[in-house]
Amino acid sequence: MTITLTQPEEPGESRRSDNSTDGVTTEIIWVTPEIAAHFLSKDSLNRRLNTERVTALADAIRRKEWKLTHQGIALDETGGLLDGQHRLHAIVEAGIPVQMFVFHGLPREVFPFLDTGKQRTGADTLLSTGAKHRPLLSSTIRHVTLFNTMPNEPWRGSRAHVSNGRILSAYNVDRDRYTEAVAVSRELSAHLFASSTAVAASYFVTTEAAPAANLDDWISGLKSGASLEEGDARLALREVPRDTQKRGSRRRMTMQDQMAIYIKAWNAWVDPQKAGELNLRRLRKGEKMPIPVELKFGKAN
């Protein structure tokens, strides 16, 4: 079967470079699933396929997060595939064409030197913003995204992947609140059982739902515990032991467990009448993630 590498009926133009260095030429084309499958049929040297990586890339394509970059497809002198197998498999899985650089005529001996660098992290992506505490910030954005998109599904594996582009976009849209959440978590995490990420992500989603809540009282109560009466949700949250794993249990407390406990305490503090009996424990099997109580301006606390 012969496939002509012409641009499919998609926006943009297919461009080919007239310059050649030692027989290497480049072009930008729209790679359709059919073209991707054709390239993959020439795969003879690539590494073992990481299916989670493929699924994560395919999900990014479906969400229209794909961007044209220098990372594309590399073919050797005979048309064999040297680099790009995960990107090509993702196009096939997504069933959506994307624009991509294609390098033709690379010597086969360059294969060992391809994709040997460290993968860029979300924290690396935020470097250009000048933000502080980027690892914590990146992790916070990721878990806020997971809370908002798949609160009751496991936050692991390829389905829980949040692309660097998505992290950067979320930060640019709401950078002040993410910056505040990270700053508060760095103050509070020393006084609570939860990790800095769990505190920051929980703070973000709860204050987003209840911007009219008295945040100074919430924060000061958690930090000092002074004058808090028995039954106060802040005191209960402070008293959740750091080692909450039951003796003899192998199940570690997940990020979802930590956020659920924080949100339950928050809800009981914001709206005690709806709180009922406050039981700050990890999520039971089948239990859904609690939803933060809303408290908008104009409503009484």
**Are 138 and 197 found together in one domain?**
yes
For residues 236 and 280, is the Cβ–Cβ distance under 8 A? yes
Residue 169 covered by a domain: yes
Residue 155 covered by a domain: yes
Q: How far apart are CA 40 and CA 57, in angstroms?
A: 16
DSSP letters of 112-158?
GGTT-SPPPPHHHHGGGGT-SSHHHHHHHHHHHHHHHH-TTS-S-SG
**Are 158 and 247 found together in one domain?**
yes
The three-state secondary structure class of 196 is: helix
Q: How far apart are CA 55 and CA 50, in angstroms?
A: 9
Least confident interval from 9-18, 53-62, 96-105, 269-278: 9-18
* pLDDT tens for each residue of 225-236: 888 888 899 999
Q: How far apart are CA 241 and CA 258, in angstroms?
A: 12
Does residue 47 have a pLDDT over 70?
Answer: no
Per the structure, the complete domain to which residue 215 belongs is given by 122-275
pTM of the model: 0.67
**Are 87 and 160 found together in one domain?**
no
**Are 87 and 126 found together in one domain?**
no
Instruction: Work out the average pLDDT over 118-131.
Output: 79
Residue 137 covered by a domain: yes
- Strands across the sheet with 81-83, in order? 15-16, 25-31, 98-106, 73-76, 81-83
* pLDDT classification of 135: cutoffs 50, 70, 90: very high
Last residue within a domain, chosen from 67, 86, 113: 113
Mean per-residue pLDDT of the chain: 83
> Where are the strands (E) in the chain, listed by range?
15-16, 25-31, 73-76, 81-83, 98-106
**Are 127 and 80 found together in one domain?**
no
**Are 193 and 270 found together in one domain?**
yes
Of 31, 2, 160, 157, which is closest to residue 91 (Cα–Cα)? 31
Last residue within a domain, chosen from 113, 133, 162: 113
Does residue 241 have a pLDDT over 60?
Answer: yes
Residue 194 covered by a domain: yes
For the chain, give the number of residues. 301
Structure-block tokens of residue 273: 């009448």
The pLDDT of residue 182 is 98
How many structural domains comprise the chain? 2
**Are 128 and 237 found together in one domain?**
yes
Instruction: Work out the average pLDDT over 212-220.
Output: 94
Higher-scoring residue by pLDDT: 273, 59? 59
Does residue 207 have a pLDDT over 50?
Answer: yes
Residue 88 covered by a domain: yes
**Are 94 and 175 found together in one domain?**
no
**Are 127 and 271 found together in one domain?**
yes
The three-state secondary structure class of 76 is: strand
Last residue within a domain, chosen from 113, 147, 173: 113
* pLDDT tens for each residue of 21-43: 567 888 888 999 999 999 888 76
